Amino acid sequence: MTSTTPSSPDVPAASVNSRAVWLAFLLLSLVALAGSLFFAGDAGLRSAVASLAEDVTDDAELKRALLQATLERPRALPLVLAADMQVSDALANPTAEAVAGLNRKLEALVLGTKTAVIYVVGRDGIAIAASNWQEPDSFVGNDYNFREYFTRGMALGRAEQYALGNVSKRPGLYLSQRVGDESGATVGIVVVKVEFDVLERDWGKTGRSTFVTDNHGIVLITSRPEWRFLSTDDIPPQERIAVRASLQFGEASLEALPVWQLLDLDGHHMVSTEPGDGMPQQPHMSVTLDVPGTPWKMHVFAPAADVMTAGIWQARLAALVVVLPLIALAAILLYRRDRAMRRQEAERAARNDLERKVAARTSELTIARDHLQTEIGEHRSTETRLQTVQHELVQANRLAILGQVAAGVAHEINQPVATIRAYADNANTYLSRGETAPASENLNSISALTDRIGAITNELRGFARKGRAAAEPVALKTAVDGALLLLRSRFAGSLDMLKVQMIPEGVTVSANRIRLEQVLINLLQNALEAVDGRADGRIVVSLAPAGTDEVAIDIADNGPGIPPAVLENLFTPFNTSKDSGLGLGLVICKDIVSDYAGRIGVDSTPAGTTFTVTLKRVGR
């Protein structure tokens, strides 16, 4: 008979398949990670831009309100002066005495009204009196026939014009009002000039480029002096010639403002500027508002690069917090599946190997049996002995197989049996000694440790959860205890420096327990690191005085304090004094406390630092 050799098991094929699965998983994970970072960054960018646009709009509306207040305050002054008999008499009969008295009156009015200049112009356009009559650049005697505020004031009764002074060379808004004598005949106009130096300086302090343009797009009032009399629009040549001929803006070139449109993101305008104009080359949020009562428009440019970058990276970090645990979980599940398949493959290979051995042994026995039958036919006399030998061979085969099985079984159960024997010997020893108390204490300790492991596992599972959670009543003592539980393993040798004063069980705040623990862990960890290595290190956690509807908790340490440069921008992202820190812990703490209508404060000196977290009280 011919024997067949079974094919070898396909374990290498399974290994190749496993490597292919892991390679595909790696590629999918990279694609998922890259996609999540991309989309999270885009969402973070849009959220940051929307938030910045809202902030810049609020700032622009406030600045517009200040501009309106500055404009409205002096508008009644020309009307009042036009009805003043001293003004009309001086225009009707400009004697030296009348003009001198009017000069002194206008000079006093300027000081009281905080306007730049007040002057009176006759029908011929010549100024007869001015508040600056004693100054070298006095307006008295100058001809203003060419000014629009004169011609329109004389024709229409009143006029307003923003222009560059032809004498003072200072820009301002000119408000004119026609003056009539007792018979009602026009005798001249009174002009009030308003300058905006203080307003422009205040705008400049905000760090945002702010300017006002007229109906031609020409910059009038600006926090950036180098932009004055430039234009946001491309003024046609004929119109530009006409504007320059009026001398409204002196010899200004009226060139285009070095600002160009960058992009329009969700309806929010982003602009940039050409290099060399004094403003860094970066995107700026642009907000434009109409100025009521005037043909002017207010523009505010706010630097956006830092805000956009922070929004992108905050969103990407949030995406990583979500995606990486999911990838890790998928990897664990895939690993378990791969391990189970390998175990099944090994069991199948073992079965195949056993079947091959059985088949080979069966073939050998069949050959031996045929050979014995032949010998029995030829040698009848040895039949009994051959049968005995045959029985012995069968029995030997059975014993060999039984030995293999027994060896395998012994190998599999050897270690568990040894462990059971060791536990049994230990138990027998304790029982023989009658030492039940130590055994009971060990069991209680094991029970306590399992409870503690379970508590830590639950804490870590909840602490890793993302997203915002709705406010709920949280016992302050429970949150403090939970934070200490999570810090115990890392700061086991330092917690003796930490003292928690008594916090009543009934003190409850409006928050979320896991997120509140996150805040306390951040603050306690910072305090522990601050006193690390100090022999007299001390940290005290206590309730602080607060309003009837609030609860405040202090975390005070006697560390070296926070450097002034860091303290000034303590809650700014990426501001840290630690070599390995990211500068995001306190920013996250402030955001969490703000989510629940609370606040966080800090008081730091070289003698120590105290953080105070204030939250709304729930109940009494």
For the chain, what are the domain ranges? 76-195, 379-433, 466-616
**pLDDT at residue 461 in the model:** 56
**pLDDT at residue 396 in the model:** 39
Residue 583, classed as helix, strand or coil, is coil
CATH 3.30.565.10 fits 466-616, yes or no: yes
**pLDDT at residue 482 in the model:** 83
The answer to whether the beta carbons of residues 522 and 487 sit under 8 Å apart is no
- C-alpha 362/C-alpha 65 separation (Å) is 104
Q: Which fold has domain 76-195?
A: Beta-Lactamase (3.30.450)
Question: Chain centroid to CA 259: how far?
Answer: 28
* Nearest of 612, 608, 603 to residue 537 by alpha carbon: 608
**pLDDT at residue 298 in the model:** 93
The predicted model gives 46-56 an average pLDDT of 88
Confidence of residue 389 (pLDDT cuts 50, 70, 90): very low
Domains 76-195 and 466-616 share a fold: no
- State the DSSP H helix or E strand holding residue 272, giving kind and residue range, or none if neither: strand 268-273
Percent of the chain with pLDDT strictly greater than 70: 81
Spell out a b/e string for 431-455, using b for 16 or more CB atoms within 10 Å of the CB, else e. Answer: eeeeeeeeeeeeeeeeeeeeeeeee
The predicted model gives 5-27 an average pLDDT of 69
* Nearest of 203, 250, 248, 252 to residue 226 by alpha carbon: 252
Confidence of residue 251 (pLDDT cuts 50, 70, 90): confident
Distances (CA, A) of 609 to 136, 482, 562: 59, 23, 7
Number of continuous H segments (helices) and E segments (strands) in the chain: 14, 18
**pLDDT at residue 280 in the model:** 54
Confidence of residue 538 (pLDDT cuts 50, 70, 90): very high
* Nearest of 395, 398, 394 to residue 406 by alpha carbon: 398
* Nearest of 247, 114, 115, 106 to residue 190 by alpha carbon: 106
Q: Output the average pLDDT for the chain.
A: 80
Distances (CA, A) of 362 to 349, 350, 433, 524, 611: 20, 18, 58, 75, 84
Q: What is the pTM of this model?
A: 0.50
End-to-end CA distance of the chain: 96
Distances (CA, A) of 212 to 67, 68, 186, 618: 10, 12, 34, 50
Q: Which residues contact 601 (CB under 8 A, 6 or more apart)?
A: 611, 612, 614
- State the DSSP H helix or E strand holding residue 529, giving kind and residue range, or none if neither: helix 513-530
Pure H helices in 73-166: 76-82, 85-92, 96-113, 148-156
E-strand ranges in 444-507 read: 472-475, 498-500
**pLDDT at residue 7 in the model:** 43
Each residue's pLDDT tens digit, 260-294: 776 677 778 888 866 544 555 678 888 999 999 88
**pLDDT at residue 192 in the model:** 94
- State the DSSP H helix or E strand holding residue 395, giving kind and residue range, or none if neither: helix 383-433
Q: In what order do the strands lie in the sheet with 550-557?
A: 498-500, 539-544, 550-557, 608-616, 599-605
- C-alpha 538/C-alpha 530 separation (Å) is 10
Residue with tokens 């016992």: 475
Residue 83, classed as helix, strand or coil, is coil
- C-alpha 252/C-alpha 55 separation (Å) is 34
The predicted model gives 600-617 an average pLDDT of 94
> Is the Cα dihedral 5, 6, 7, 8 positive or negative?
negative
The answer to whether the beta carbons of residues 187 and 123 sit under 8 Å apart is yes
Q: List the single range of 232-236, 339-343, 546-550, 613-617 with lowest mean pLDDT.
A: 232-236
* Nearest of 546, 588, 586 to residue 562 by alpha carbon: 586
The answer to whether the beta carbons of residues 479 and 523 sit under 8 Å apart is no
